[in-house]
Amino acid sequence: MQVIIRPLQEQDAYTSVQWRNDPEVFKYTGNTYDHEITIESELGWIRKVIANPNDYRCAILVDGVYIGNIYLTDIDGYSAHYHIFIGNKDYWGKGVAKKASQLILDYAFNKLGLKIVKLKVRKENISAVKLYEKLCFKAVEEDGKWIVMEKQNIIDY
Ligand SMILES: CC(C)(COP(=O)(O)OP(=O)(O)OC[C@H]1O[C@@H](n2cnc3c(N)ncnc32)[C@H](O)[C@@H]1OP(=O)(O)O)[C@@H](O)C(=O)NCCC(=O)NCCS
């Protein structure tokens, strides 16, 4: 199974719009949608985010099949926020998120030279919390239903 990440492209919207309307995928994320996401709004969203120079928005491909999204956002030269979802649920629990995350964290620390990558996760999102622990993120703060986690670029320490 080959996992790669590559920058999002406009035509990815035709696949990702289907995931936006699956409540199970977005159950615990920061974005829960209470209305149907149309192809027009998904296309508009992709055009907007890929034009943002402070974001690195990628597609996850498994053996050439587009199955989810992974991002660094708010990149400021020192830190960034990391986000992930596997939209195609047939690929959950197969190690894909872990491999894709290792690729984007390598990019963050070794290409961009960032010192810290941060994330926010709902406490009850067990699969995500387990994933982040396996990637050596450490909880630094609890905020109601949310845990804030960070991973440092240990090469400097
Ligand atoms: C969270 C999510 C990205 C995990 O993706 P995944 O590809 O299923 O995760 P992986 O298979 O790479 O698992 C990574 C690690 O977490 C652990 N893990 C994953 N799901 C788990 C579960 N339900 N229970 C316990 N451990 C779990 C695995 O054991 C694995 O560790 P290992 O490789 O050492 O065995 C995926 O479920 C998803 O997209 N969920 C919906 C969107 C979402 O909630 N995103 C996160 C928002 S903060």
Residue 157 confidence (pLDDT): 45
Residue 32 confidence (pLDDT): 67
30-65, pLDDT tens digit by residue?
766 678 889 999 999 999 999 999 999 999 999 999
Domains of the chain: 3-156 (3.40.630.30)
Question: Which residues sit with their C-beta closer than 6 Å to ligand 1?
Answer: 25, 28-29, 84-86, 92-98, 121, 125-128, 130-131, 134
**How many CA atoms lie less than 13 Å away from 123 in the CB half-sphere?**
7
Closest CA to ligand 1's atom 35: 95
Closest CA to ligand 1's atom 1: 128
* CB < 8 Å & 24+ apart, contacts of 108-112: 108/72, 108/80, 108/82, 109/153, 109/155, 112/56, 112/72, 112/75, 112/77, 112/80
Q: Residue 13's closest CA among 54, 79, 57?
A: 57
Helix axes 126-134, 96-106, angle to 10 degrees: 50
74-104, pLDDT tens digit by residue?
999 999 999 999 999 999 999 999 999 999 9
Residue 34 confidence (pLDDT): 72
108-124, pLDDT tens digit by residue?
999 999 999 999 999 99
